Amino acid sequence: MTKDTETDMKEVELNEMDPEKQPMTGDGQTGEKNGTVKLKVPEDEVTFTGLSKEELMKVAGTPGWVRTRWVLLILFWLGWVGMLAGAIVIIVKAPPCKPIPEMNWWNEGSLYQISDLEAFSDGLEGVETKLDNMNQLKVKGLIIGPLHSVQANRPLTLNLKVVDPNKGSEDALRSLVEKAHKKGISVILDLTPNYEGWPSWFTAADEAEVIEKVKDAAEHWLKLGLDGIKVSDVTVPAQAAEWAQLQAAIQSNRTEDTKNKLLMGVAEGITAQEVSQFVNTSGIDLVLSDLLTMQKDVMDTLTNMDFLSALKMNLGWGVGAAQKKQLASQISAPGLTRLYQLLLFTMPGTPVFTYGDEIGLMAEGTTNPKMVWDLEEKPAEGAVNATAEAIRKDRSETRKWFKSLSDLRGKERSLLYGDFYRFDASSAVMSFLRLWDQSDRYITVINFGSAPATIALTFQGTEGVELPEQAKVKLSTDEALEPDSMVSLNSIKLGPGQGALLQFPYVA
């Protein structure tokens, strides 16, 4: 065997021992080590790289492309003009929005008065620690006091610019105001002169001098940051010539860029007609009436609400608030507390509450009740008193109900400043509608009676107001009316001592 032949045989053996160099495919592919493959690319294959700038310019100038561009341009402008025309038609045909009435901060939510600071929370400093609780209730203003120094029926000792040391200090009041403002809560100071005695403005002979002192004190406290003053029993002093000076001291410096200061007065024992006249002649920003406390008849209450609804921006409503008493102690049964909360939050006007009204607190005798806190803390096991636990749960649920109503009152236009329409009523059942322009409408239905009631909502002679067949239950004290369920307005069933707030949308 020749040398060349031996060499060829060795190469064959090596190739057989190294499979990585065996061809992976036929068709002209050559196997290489590690599985790589060499492919033969035809030399005559051409890759498309698009048109050059010069070629694009030549094509763009051809008649076909020119016509295409013009067609697309015309279609674009026709579409744009069509959309513009459609928008104009929608705007023209859409009903115009009703202008929002002029409002002040005291119209935007409820006012909460604390006459006995010790019973509420250990003085001015204690009130400051409870501001978060007030903020949760969505109240817009706190009415504090009276705090000034005076001896009953002795006008010579009256000093409206000095805080009674037994009630706190000026520094504590200033700190309270600053902290409240940071939470969006205004503070009103009660400057009722003779709050320890009677009458509230001393005798007729003292009237002019006392009004002058109230005016000077109002200027003093407003400069320190308070947002308004409240005075009680104003029907008589408001007729005096000096009253205009007090009014001017509070209202004269109002501008669009500043927060308005409030002059609030309590008018007790007068009729709805007299309230209307007083609001229009006294110059008082907010008149708190005791009509709800005095009036127990449902029909008369609805009639008064209807008569005074146009004055809603200048009228405050409360049950016991005019006398600085708790709501629950002024009504026929404590179980009706939530119904009166529903009424106050949904009727036209500013709701005014006394501390404790949010939980149904009641006074014992003539002593102001001690405020109850920490309602969410359940008693420890083994120390549960069934009666006490039932009271705690009821107060907690009443507070949740209050918060829900307050939240709605502060954000729903129909409840804030909507028009008022009463429905037919019976001796125990009242219902009314609040609506504003294109906003959701709300119906309040309350059964104050001791028997179940079936209510069919109908108007008498009311034009331009239409009701749907059904409405949604927004809030309810009646377990049979679950929130978000639908109810027929021709047959609303309410249990004794139950109420509901219904909602239906605006339909163009």
One-letter-per-residue 3-state SS of 219-280: HHHHHCCCCEEEECCCCCHHHCCCHHHHHHHHHCCCCCCCCCCEEEEEECCCCHHHHHHHHH
User: What letter would DSSP give residue 471?
Assistant: E
In this structure, the number of other CB atoms found within 10 A of the CB of residue 50 comes to: 6
Cα separation of 347 and 301, whole Å? 11
Per-residue pLDDT of the chain (508 residues; tens, 9 = 90+): 444 545 455 454 444 445 444 554 444 444 444 455 555 555 555 566 666 777 777 777 788 777 888 888 899 999 999 999 888 887 776 667 788 888 999 999 999 999 999 999 989 999 999 999 999 999 999 999 999 999 999 999 999 999 999 889 999 999 999 999 999 999 999 999 999 999 999 999 999 999 999 999 999 999 999 999 999 999 999 999 999 999 999 998 777 778 999 999 999 999 999 999 999 999 999 999 999 988 778 999 999 999 999 999 999 999 999 999 999 999 988 889 999 999 999 999 999 999 999 999 998 777 899 999 988 877 766 667 888 889 999 999 999 999 999 999 999 999 999 999 999 888 899 999 999 999 999 999 999 999 999 999 987 656 678 899 999 999 999 999 999 999 999 999 999 999 999 999 998 7
Question: Domain 106-363+379-411 falls in which CATH fold?
Answer: TIM Barrel (3.20.20)
* Identity of residue 314: N
In this structure, the number of other CB atoms found within 10 A of the CB of residue 402 comes to: 25
Q: What is the CATH class of 421-504?
A: mainly beta
Half-sphere exposure of 437 (CA within 13 A, CB side): 12
- Are residues 450 and 444 in contact, defined by beta-carbon separation less than 8 angstroms? no
User: What letter would DSSP give residue 470?
Assistant: E
- Are residues 333 and 362 in contact, defined by beta-carbon separation less than 8 angstroms? no
Cα separation of 144 and 405, whole Å? 23
The two structure tokens encoding residue 102: 């002029």
Cα separation of 275 and 379, whole Å? 48
Domain limits of the chain? 3-38, 53-93, 106-363+379-411, 421-504
Paired with 315 in beta bridges are 287
